[in-house]
RNA sequence: GCGAGCGUAGCCAAGUGGUUAAGGCAGCGGAUUGUGGUUCCGCCACUCGGGGGUUCGAAUCCCCUCGUUCGCCCCA
């Protein structure tokens, strides 16, 4: 039989790595819960139309990156390429807008895009995201950004840059688009091929081109800031002021254009200065006041972001080793009477909150000790048939080699003392 | 979708046309049948991602294919 491999662009998260994931999730959960955000879990696949409408037919995500298939009921379904559309669908469908004037939500889970794989990019990847639905207040934009920064700094990440821009209202953009096209048209022949096409399709995308020639031209292009209506401009200034008041540094980046159609006003991206490859954005988001109506809901201003967890992980792995659970006891046993007792003892200790590994091999004691040693446990519990008959157990501290015999019942009664001693040992490590 | 590099054991690898495919780590067994960390010994690839071809002979050369890595596009 030939072995079957995981699908291209997917990978296993193995036990040695899973500690990072649990760490990221627990930090995010705590910070978001503390800010009164509630977790929401939506389906991993949805009607294809949801994404086509929500994200925009013209975008690459919809146009060429969706995992779409026809199910047995002849429905076109798509594995979600991002989280916001599903959250907004759930918000409308479940009438969350009438349950409270404002919803603060967060989510974490796998997303799917049919793309070619490279550093920090897979076909199944994971995003953590949060959304505030029902507030147009600039403070919502700032709150959301501040929480993203909190999560990242709590995880110990440094050298991150917050890029900030405003893409205004659809009207603002309309005006700006004209100005931009007017500026770029004379340079048409000097633009890279992709940007040439964008000139008619989606001129703002030319702003974030990586092509050096194009960048040079773009440098002197008109800035959207000069085409924002007074209201939009005021809003943008408020966001900047409030970020500053919170001590959050940012870089104004007039070329930051989000890929998805529904964004309005605030757009931001959190970029890793070092440590990632070409795909260096760890998170991005912004305001999307138009999306809820686009998906058939009532007019609802909203703002949110998403972070790519694989990218976060790449950065974390360069900084720190994965947090692991310290093992308290390794139980060694041999003999017909002792082996079942060892299992019982292990279970009793686990119920008292100890982390206990039970050696299942029944091999020579010497071998079991070798494994006990490697397990990193603070202490080893030894049960042979002598102990089994007497109802005793040997407790051996693996660091010092100190060993004592005691009735099994005593061991359980001394739980508090043992816990202190183990904690003491672990803190010295 | 496009471009380039790379696929030898669970991991890291040597080998670049000629008899049995180095070595290290990990694992397993033994020296040590109830006491670990050291040491020593043994075992662990009929086969080099897969398929086809060239050749007396292929891990090694050629073609295709799959995977992987990095990049383009785009995005988290």
Decide if A15-169+229-319 and A329-424 have a common fold: no
Task: Tell which residue, A368, A369, A411, has the closest CA to residue A387.
Answer: A411
The pLDDT value given to residue A65: 87
Q: How far is the CA of A417 from the C1' of B46 (A)?
A: 59
Q: How far is the CA of A281 from the C1' of B13 (A)?
A: 35
Q: How many CA atoms lie within 13 A of A140 on its CB side?
A: 25
Residue A2 has pLDDT above 80, yes or no: no
Fold adopted by A15-169+229-319:
BirA Bifunctional Protein; domain 2 (3.30.930)
* CA dist., res. A30 & res. A37, Å (int): 10
Residue A422 has pLDDT above 80, yes or no: yes
Query: In degrees rounded to 5, what are phi and psi of residue A89?
Result: -60, -45
Q: How far is the CA of A357 from the C1' of B39 (A)?
A: 28
Residue A317 has pLDDT above 90, yes or no: no
Residue A278 has pLDDT above 90, yes or no: no
**Higher per-residue confidence, A205 vs A3:** A205
Residue A103 has pLDDT above 80, yes or no: yes
Delimit the domains of chain A by residue range: 15-169+229-319, 329-424
Query: In degrees rounded to 5, what are phi and psi of residue A94?
Result: -95, 10
pLDDT band at A299 (very low <50, low <70, confident <90, very high): very high
The pLDDT value given to residue A429: 64
Q: Which two tokens stand for residue A286?
A: 């912004």
**Higher per-residue confidence, A196 vs A369:** A369
Q: Residue A53: helix, strand or coil by DSSP?
A: helix
pLDDT 10s digits, A34-61: 999 999 999 999 999 999 888 877 778 8
Task: Label residues A98-122 b or e (16+ Cβ within 10 Å = b).
Answer: eeeeebbbbbbbebbbebeeeebbb
- Which of the nucleotides lies closest to A258 (Cα–C1')? B75
pLDDT 10s digits, A218-227: 888 999 999 9
- Which of the nucleotides lies closest to A398 (Cα–C1')? B36
Q: Which residue is nearest to nucleotide B69 (CA to C1')?
A: A118
**Positions of chain B reached by protein Cβ under 7 A:** 1-3, 27-37, 66-76
Q: Which residue is nearest to nucleotide B73 (CA to C1')?
A: A194
Q: Which residue is nearest to nucleotide B29 (CA to C1')?
A: A367
Asked if residue A214 lies in contact with residue A267, where contact means CB atoms within 8 angstroms, the answer is no
pLDDT band at A383 (very low <50, low <70, confident <90, very high): very high
pLDDT 10s digits, A172-203: 988 998 999 999 988 888 888 788 888 887 88
Q: How far is the CA of A116 from the C1' of B66 (A)?
A: 15
* CA dist., res. A373 & res. A380, Å (int): 8
pLDDT band at A277 (very low <50, low <70, confident <90, very high): confident
- Which of the nucleotides lies closest to A284 (Cα–C1')? B76
The pLDDT value given to residue A14: 85
Q: How far is the CA of A325 from the C1' of B9 (A)?
A: 31
Average pLDDT, chain A: 90
- Which of the nucleotides lies closest to A7 (Cα–C1')? B67
Angle at A166 between CA A161 and CA A171, to 5 degrees: 160
**Higher per-residue confidence, A86 vs A115:** A86
pLDDT 10s digits, A136-167: 999 999 999 999 999 999 999 988 999 999 99
The pLDDT value given to residue A198: 82
- Which of the nucleotides lies closest to A202 (Cα–C1')? B74
Give the pLDDT mean for A112-125.
90
**Higher per-residue confidence, A331 vs A203:** A331
Q: How far is the CA of A63 from the C1' of B73 (A)?
A: 13
pLDDT band at A260 (very low <50, low <70, confident <90, very high): low
Assigned architecture for domain A329-424? 3-Layer(aba) Sandwich (3.40)
Query: In degrees rounded to 5, what are phi and psi of residue A327?
Result: -85, 130
- Which of the nucleotides lies closest to A63 (Cα–C1')? B74
The pLDDT value given to residue A332: 95
* CA dist., res. A101 & res. A237, Å (int): 26
Residue A1 has pLDDT above 60, yes or no: no
pLDDT band at A210 (very low <50, low <70, confident <90, very high): confident
Q: Which two tokens stand for residue A390?
A: 């007497």
What contacts A79, CB < 8 A, 6 or more positions away?
A44, A45, A66, A67, A68, A111, A112
pLDDT band at A243 (very low <50, low <70, confident <90, very high): very high
ipTM: 0.85
């Amino acid at each position: 039989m030939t072995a079957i491999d995981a699908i291209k662009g997917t990978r296993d998260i193995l036990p040695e790595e899973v500690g990072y994931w649990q760490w990221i999730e627990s930090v995010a959960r705590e910070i978001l819960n503390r800010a009164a955000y509630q977790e929401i879990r939506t389906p991993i696949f949805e009607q294809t139309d949801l994404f086509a409408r929500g994200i925009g037919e013209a975008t690459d995500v919809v146009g060429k990156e969706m995992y779409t298939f026809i199910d047995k009921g002849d429905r076109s379904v798509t594995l979600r390429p991002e989280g916001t559309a599903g959250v907004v669908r759930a918000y409308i469908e479940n009438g969350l807008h009438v349950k409270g004037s404002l919803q603060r939500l967060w989510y974490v889970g796998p997303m799917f895009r049919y793309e070619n794989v490279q550093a920090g990019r897979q076909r199944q990847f994971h995003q953590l995201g949060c959304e505030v639905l029902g507030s147009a207040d600039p403070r919502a934009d700032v709150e959301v950004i501040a929480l993203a920064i909190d999560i990242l700094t709590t995880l110990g990440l440094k050298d991150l840059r917050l890029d900030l821009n405003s893409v205004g209202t659809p009207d603002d953009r309309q005006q700006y688009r004209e100005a931009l096209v007017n500026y770029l048209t004379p340079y048409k022949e000097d633009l890279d091929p992709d940007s040439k096409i964008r000139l008619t399709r989606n001129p703002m995308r030319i702003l974030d081109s990586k092509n050096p020639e194009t960048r040079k031209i773009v440098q002197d292009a008109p800035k959207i800031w000069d085409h924002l209506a007074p209201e939009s401009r005021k809003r943008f200034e408020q966001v900047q002021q409030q970020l500053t008041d919170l001590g959050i540094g940012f870089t104004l980046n007039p070329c930051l254009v989000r890929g998805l159609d529904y964004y309005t006003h605030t757009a931001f991206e959190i970029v890793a200065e070092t440590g990632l490859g070409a795909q260096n954005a760890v998170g991005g988001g912004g305001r999307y006041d138009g999306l809820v109506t686009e998906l058939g809901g009532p007019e609802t201003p909203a703002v949110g972001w998403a972070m790519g967890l694989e990218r976060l992980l790449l950065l974390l792995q360069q900084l720190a080793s994965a947090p692991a659970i310290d093992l308290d006891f390794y139980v060694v046993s041999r003999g017909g009477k002792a082996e079942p007792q060892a299992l019982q003892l292990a279970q009793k200790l686990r119920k008292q909150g100890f982390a206990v590994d039970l050696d299942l091999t029944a091999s020579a004691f010497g071998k079991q000790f070798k494994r006990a040693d490697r397990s990193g446990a603070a202490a080893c519990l030894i049960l042979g048939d002598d102990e089994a008959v007497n109802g005793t157990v040997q407790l051996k501290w693996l660091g010092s080699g100190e060993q004592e015999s005691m009735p099994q019942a005593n061991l359980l009664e001394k739980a508090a003392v043992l816990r202190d001693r183990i904690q003491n040992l672990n803190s010295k490590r």
